[in-house]
């Protein structure tokens, strides 16, 4: 028991002598996402088979139906858009 008390008092002495080490934190700025473009609702009726294909594609490729639709419409407009004429 005496040996235990000596060890305990030695430990207390060591703790008093050592300066506490405070962890050094590195401050990093918060990454902000670029502002999103405002969204509007767009509803269309699709054939059930096409909707099923879209859902299956989304699940297989881990992409949302919304992203599939946006990509499809952008591609369509790129290939079918005619230049504006000013008279």
Both tokens of 50, joined, read 């096409």
pLDDT in the model for residue 49: 97
Per-residue pLDDT tens over the stretch 32-80: 888 889 999 999 999 999 999 999 999 999 999 999 999 999 999 999 9
Locate tokens 């934190």: which residue?
25
Per-residue pLDDT tens over the stretch 6-25: 777 788 777 777 777 777 88
pTM, two decimals, is 0.55
């Amino acid at each position: 028991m005496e040996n235990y008390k000596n060890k305990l008092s030695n430990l207390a002495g060591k703790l008093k002598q050592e300066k506490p080490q405070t962890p050094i934190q590195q401050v990093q700025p918060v990454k902000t996402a670029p502002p999103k473009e405002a969204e509007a609702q767009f509803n269309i009726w699709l054939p059930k088979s096409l909707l099923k294909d879209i859902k299956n594609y989304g699940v297989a490729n881990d992409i949302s139906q919304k992203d599939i639709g946006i990509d499809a419409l952008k591609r369509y407009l790129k290939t079918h858009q005619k230049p504006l004429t000013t008279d």
